[in-house]
Amino acid sequence: MEYERAGSMLRHDVQGDGEPVLFVHGFPLSRELWAGVVPRLGPGWRAIAPDLRGHGESDVGPVTSMQTYAADLAALLDHLGESRPVVLVGLSMGGYVALELVRRQAERVRALVLANTRASRDSDEQADARRETARRVRAEGSGFVADDMARRLFHPEAPAELRTRWREIMAGTPPEGVAAALEAMAARPDSFDTLRAFDRPVLIVAGEADAITPVADAEAMQRAARNATLEVIEGAGHLTPVEQPERFAAVLRGFLGSLPATQPGGRDRS
């Protein structure tokens, strides 16, 4: 399915009927990230999984900040007629986007799942390195980023096919999409205050061998959030829903099942 925003066609999948769960993938990935999880959610959930602007099958279009991605998500929910607050699931850069949506429109978010991500901003050195990588991607293409990420995304014992498949997806992300995402990540603000202010349930998921967002980042978010549980998934690196889809889905199902019921108007019954 697709919708248009600010001159770009943005693609997404919608699966199931019930209460909305919005899945946001990381950098420079695609909605395929959730393919092993969505079918395992069970009945009662409407899973919405977009390709972020400049990723997967979505047009590149103008991206300048995390705000652009977050505004795309809000527009997608409007397009789908989804006025109920969603369970918002974001992995890595998808977590940065999720926190941006919470910062701007917390009322649209019923509960938050932050997987393999962090709430801190980049250091100045990290931000400079990302901007330099963005310059290189515009000149050389996405291949070298895909090679680098493919080496770091997975648990050391992950099957070679996983690395090959995801390298291919990342290398297929258009250079402008990769570069814009890098610049958006470099400019993102710290989100700890946003997390501290969010008073609804939060699930934090980490991979035991995540080389990109280590378990310590997850623990820091758990300490900051008011109402958070932390699950560390064994046998996984950075891509928990791909490396351990059954375990990820089981953890998510447990969290969804624990949420307070919502009233027809979308507000929690409490």
Which residues are tagged catalytic?
A: 92, 210, 238
What stretch of H or E contains 52?
none
Residue 76 · residue 49 · CB < 8 Å: no
Residue 50 interacts with ligand MLT (CB under 6 A)? no
Residue 206 interacts with ligand MLT (CB under 6 A)? no
Distance CA 248, CA 113 (A): 11
Q: In the complex with ligand MLT, which residue's Cβ is closer, 68 or 92?
A: 92
Rounded to a whole number of angstroms, the minimum distance from the CB of residue 265 to ligand MLT is: 34
Distance CA 54, CA 87 (A): 24
Residue 146 · residue 177 · CB < 8 Å: no
Cis-peptide, bond into residue 28, ω within 30° of zero: yes
Residue 26 interacts with ligand MLT (CB under 6 A)? yes
Distance CA 36, CA 244 (A): 9
Residue among 19, 21, 27, 45 that touches ligand MLT (CB under 6 A): 27
Residue 192 interacts with ligand MLT (CB under 6 A)? no
Residue among 92, 194, 240, 244 that touches ligand MLT (CB under 6 A): 92
74-98: string of b/e by CB count within 10 Å (b at 16+)? Answer: eebbeebebebbbbbbbbbbbbbbb
Rounded to a whole number of angstroms, the minimum distance from the CB of residue 28 to ligand MLT is: 8
Q: In the complex with ligand MLT, which residue's Cβ is closer, 150 or 256?
A: 150
Residue 185 interacts with ligand MLT (CB under 6 A)? yes
Q: In the complex with ligand MLT, which residue's Cβ is closer, 47 or 119?
A: 119
Q: In the complex with ligand MLT, which residue's Cβ is closer, 92 or 240?
A: 92
Give the interface with ligand MLT as residue ranges (CB under 6 A). Answer: 26-27, 92-93, 185, 212
